[in-house]
Amino acid sequence: MKGTSTKRCINPSCGLSFEIDNDIYRCSCGFLVDVIYSELPSKRLTEVFFDRRNHRENIYDESGVWRFRDLLNFSGIDTNSISDCAKTLVSLDGAEGRLSKPYTMTKVAEYALMPNSNFFLQPEGYNPSGSFKDNGMSTAVTHAKMLGVKKLVCASTGNTSASAAMYAANENMECDVYIPKGEVAPGKLGQAFQFGAQVIQVEGNFDDALAASLADSKLSHGYTVNSLNPFRLEGQKTIVYRVLEHLDWNPPDWIVYPGGALGNISSCGKCLIELVEWGWIRKIPRIAVINAEGASSLYDLVNSKFESKPLSWNNGRPDLEMIERYYHYKDGKGLTPKTRATAIQIGKPANLIKALRAIEFTNGVVTRVSDMEMADGMSIVGLNGFDCELASGAVPAGVRVLRRDGIIKADDIVVGILTGRQKDPSLPVEYHTNKSNRYARPPTND
Ligand SMILES: *Cc1c(COP(=O)(O)O)cnc(C)c1O
């Protein structure tokens, strides 16, 4: 399937289009842009995708991202031509998205107050750099390569930089990563160094690091691979494709994510909007976003915790001034995001507006959980033999809260995304050493 694609401003009263041969991610009206495909894909492709799982050593079929390349064909290649794929598509030997699919986990289901057969978790931590970020990085770096880019730039709570640095090293590009000093898990920081990135430590939090990286990226002709980049979000749609494929393309009732910069939510929303547009699905799964208590901007804004009116997409006319008032209030009080789940320690989510669109389209909900609840969630996932990090622990913890609140029903089909693997080994050691923790197995002395 070939075809042309463009970028388009998501603001319905603007809708300005852009060619794709540039790195514009924000329209002059201030809204972010989407990648738009000109062709309507046939649902018969689902059989092609399934068949590619027997990949016959073709890495573009083996990859859990590029197996769906017909739905991400912004480069306009002949998707059946292996030589076209090899020339254009960036892949870590087919490893991105390869091991990701939904699993049932009995102990987590019990903790989350769900019947085992209705509750699935999809580990994205088994991606080559250890988080879901690889899904979107393979597509963003593909676009960078189309533009002949020499240097990737990102700000990161850790996993974006690990993924960007890994792909950059593989593609012989440079990579600058801006990190909030002292706020990145040791395993993630180690990866940035290991893969040869230039680490730039920023005094402040992630929001400060992002501002610094965007300013420098402009000056130094770098290519930004944060989730502001619409090509990142294209690759992350495959997380949802793999969920749906596992369920024979029958949508679940809920898809649950932790919320940080809200790229994942935005990507999932766009994915579902397209699938409905194409007539591939009719039922729309509801998105549930789980914020950390200490970094709950989305929760505060959409649940009227800040002002009496909820913030919403409002058919493309969100109350942008309310967002400014909220940030101004937080800055004025010196309220910075604070959670041990550093991957979601974000106060000003870059994709907030796209996330509002996703929440409105899917009738989504936002809740929040404490660090202790996330630690229980992370640990019960571990007891089922799966690895995840603290931020991912928000997913089982959040499902438990939404079940208790009666928002998720017992007979709903729920799929949660475990976003990344454990990269701070001191956390499980600390959890299990403290015998007052719910699932602790304290060490004994001989
Ligand atoms: C990046 C990240 C998140 C947050 O995802 P967003 O798309 O920024 O909301 C959550 N968990 C992990 C492990 C991450 O690396």
Q: Which CATH number fits domain 106-129+230-432: 3.20.20.70, 3.30.300.100, 3.40.50.1100, 3.40.250.10?
A: 3.40.50.1100
Say how many C-beta atoms besides its own lie within 10 A of residue 134's C-beta: 32
**Is 295 close to ligand 1, i.e. is its CB under 6 Å away?**
no
Task: Indicate the Cα dihedral angle 25, 203, 342, 99, nearest 10°.
Answer: 50
Count of other CB atoms within 10 angstroms of residue 327 = 14
3 has pLDDT over 70: no
Per-residue pLDDT tens for 252-262?
Answer: 999 999 999 99
Q: Whose CA is nearest to atom 15 of ligand 1?
A: 159
pLDDT recorded at residue 218: 85
Does the predicted model carry a pTM greater than 0.85? yes
CB of 420 closer than 6 angstroms to any ligand 1 atom? yes
8 A C-beta contact, residue 251 and residue 243: no
Indicate whether residue 262 lines ligand 1 (CB < 6 A). Answer: yes
132 CA from centroid of ligand 1 (Å)? 8
Residue 391 CB less than 6 A away from ligand 1: yes
pLDDT digits (tens, 9 = 90+) for 346-405: 999 999 999 999 999 999 999 999 999 999 999 999 999 999 999 999 999 999 999 999
Q: How far is the CA of 260 from the centre of ligand 1 (A)?
A: 5
Domain assignments of the chain as residue spans, ordered by start: 106-129+230-432
10-31 average pLDDT score? 96
153 CA to centre of ligand 1 in angstroms: 18
Torsion of CA 128, 130, 132, 137, to 10 degrees: -50
Best residue among 419, 421, 422 to mutate for probing ligand 1, ranked by most atoms within 8 Å of CB: 419
